[in-house]
Amino acid sequence: MHEGTTLRPRIAQLLLVAWTLLAAACGSGPVVPDPVPADALPGQVGGIVELDAASVAGDAVDPHELEALLEEVGFAGGTQRVFSQTEGARPQRSLARLLTFGDPAGAQAYLAWLEDHLDEVIGTAELLEPPDVTGRAFLALSEPECLCPKATEVYLAAWAKGSTVLTLEVGGKGVKLADVHQFVATLDGAVSA
């Protein structure tokens, strides 16, 4: 009886060590990207939404093509947060995303795909002067395709910081290009590389 009771704690310790080694051998699990900071942009702050390849690919006309690309270029995960301003008669909405890749080359590959496929993501768009950030970036404007009273222009800015791609979609009545440039600079400053 005495012998069995001393073996149980040792067996439990051995199982714990084996479990720890097995977990370490299988990797540390999925990469959890940094969240979009709550103070990254002005306005009412929405909650963090974690993004996988399928949710990012859902933005494209051909989600299977984009999901395959994301897998190929080492997409690790992402987060997004919505910021809204409802002051006066000019409601505005900003969607900020941080998408993390295995290396800077993967981030650049996704950024290039996004710029080449704007029509699949935000509709017919015109490229504008890129935002003033370090590295490759673009800014596009999509005009509403209908005369609906609630349809507004949508700006999409995207740029890479190391292995992270930041995207910022801004829409709403009265959004000006200067506002978008300011939001990009603010978000860029709030996110470390």
pLDDT, one tens digit per residue, over 129-173 is 999 999 899 999 998 776 666 668 899 999 999 999 999 999 988
pLDDT at 21 over 60: no
Do residues 166 and 188 touch, judged by C-beta distance below 8 A?
Answer: yes
Do residues 161 and 134 touch, judged by C-beta distance below 8 A?
Answer: yes
The predicted pLDDT at position 91 comes to 79
Q: Categorise residue 44: left if φ over 0, alpha if ψ from -120 to 50, beta otherwise.
A: beta
Q: Which of 107, 104, 83 is nearest to 93 (CA)?
A: 83
Q: Centre a 10 Å sphere on the Cβ of residue 42 and count the other Cβ atoms it contains.
A: 15
Average pLDDT over residues 17-25: 35
User: In the chain, what are the domain boundaries?
Assistant: 31-190
Confidence band (pLDDT; 50, 70, 90) for 13? very low
The predicted pLDDT at position 167 comes to 97
Architecture of the 31-190 domain = 3-Layer(aba) Sandwich (3.40)
Q: Quote the pTM value.
A: 0.80
Average pLDDT over residues 41-53: 95
Distance CA 31, CA 78 (A): 9
The predicted pLDDT at position 30 comes to 44
121: which 2 tokens? 């993501």
pLDDT, one tens digit per residue, over 50-99 is 999 999 999 899 999 999 999 999 999 999 999 998 776 567 899 999 99
The predicted pLDDT at position 15 comes to 33
Per-residue DSSP letter, 79: E
The predicted pLDDT at position 33 comes to 61
The predicted pLDDT at position 29 comes to 41
Average pLDDT over residues 18-34: 42
The predicted pLDDT at position 144 comes to 75
